[in-house]
Amino acid sequence: MKLLAGNSNTQLARSIADYLEIALTEASVRRFADEEIFVEIHENVRGEDVFVLQSTSYPANDNLMELLICIDALRRASAKRITAVVPYFGYARQDRKPGPRTPISAKLVANLITTAGANRVLSVDLHAGQIQGFFDIPTDNLFAAPVIAADIQARLSNKNLMIVSPDVGGVVRARGLAKRLDNAPLAIVDKRRERAGESEVMNIIGDVEGRTCILVDDIVDSAGTLCNAAAALRQQGAEEVFAYCTHGVLSGAAAARVGASELKELVVTDSIWSGEADVEGGKIRRLTIAPLLAEAVRRIADESSVSSLFD
């Protein structure tokens, strides 16, 4: 087994390699003067089971091309099996046609990864579970819920908890986390989105008065939805509001928005690396999913069950 890392999340790749007690595969992933991406693998990978770790986060197009070129290089180097480990699958929010003459970009990206030569895909908390069906190769969708639940139990077990879904579409995710937390009660934020990137909270379904509310979502991008939801929950009498999201995209002024919001803390995983250390004493904290991904990689390599990770 070999683990090859692109440039999008080298810290997570090193943590996975440390957990598996293997060295990262030596390779050069660099750019020419015109920003063309060039990949050169410095080890023999013929007949090897190779895992390529690359989140397609910002800059999404550059990181996606890196992933595709790495896969192509491995295929041409006669790797036995190539697994694309994509902790954050970019373009996942474009998984349907919201209107006429619009693309389904998630399907296009799935086709690109398959055509490049990947034999398998491993991701974490896909925006919609049906994206697995966009691939014509085996796809494993891991869940960060066990990592999030363990952190909540360690830090907030003495609180009067209520799990909150920031929209109707996230109820299944929130219910799954609530079940792991001894069937904690569930509330839903009813919101109306006028246009992309903007949201308006309408009302709260559920009694949150005196509760420590935990907002749960898969992606936090502009953080507008979470901040509006936190304000609405506090207005309805919530004692404290925390937010747990798997993928911290946090584009633009998201971090500043979180800092000025009613949120006590925003917790994200390290599926995306911003390239900068988090501000000390800030409201944003990161959990590592390296052990979860590493264990899944080990089980895929050993041909054993991945789903039993979540039993």
Q: Which residue positions form the known binding site for ATP?
A: 34-36, 93-94
Cα–chain center distance at 38: 26
List, in sequence order, every residue forming a beta bridge with 267; answer none if it has no partner: 244, 285
Would you say 120 and 81 are in contact if contact means Cβ atoms under 8 Å apart? yes
Q: Of these residues, 2, 191, 264, 283, which one is catalytic?
A: 191
The residue assigned the tokens 């050069």 is 28
Question: Is 159 annotated in the active site?
Answer: no
The one-letter code for the residue type at 255 is A
> Residues within the annotated binding site for D-ribose 5-phosphate?
193, 217, 221-225
The one-letter code for the residue type at 24 is L
H-helix or E-strand containing 59?
A: none
Instruction: Tell me, letter by letter, the H, E, C secondary structure of 234-302.
Output: HHCCCCEEEEEEEEECCCCCHHHHHHCCCCCEEEEECCCCCCCCCCCCCCEEEECCHHHHHHHHHHHHC
Would you say 4 and 25 are in contact if contact means Cβ atoms under 8 Å apart? yes
Cα angle 129, 189, 282; round to 5? 85
Task: DSSP letter for 134, please.
Answer: G
> Residues within the annotated binding site?
34-36, 93-94, 127, 167, 193, 217, 221-225
Quick one: CA dihedral 82, 30, 16, 278, positive or negative?
Answer: negative
Which residues are tagged catalytic?
Answer: 191
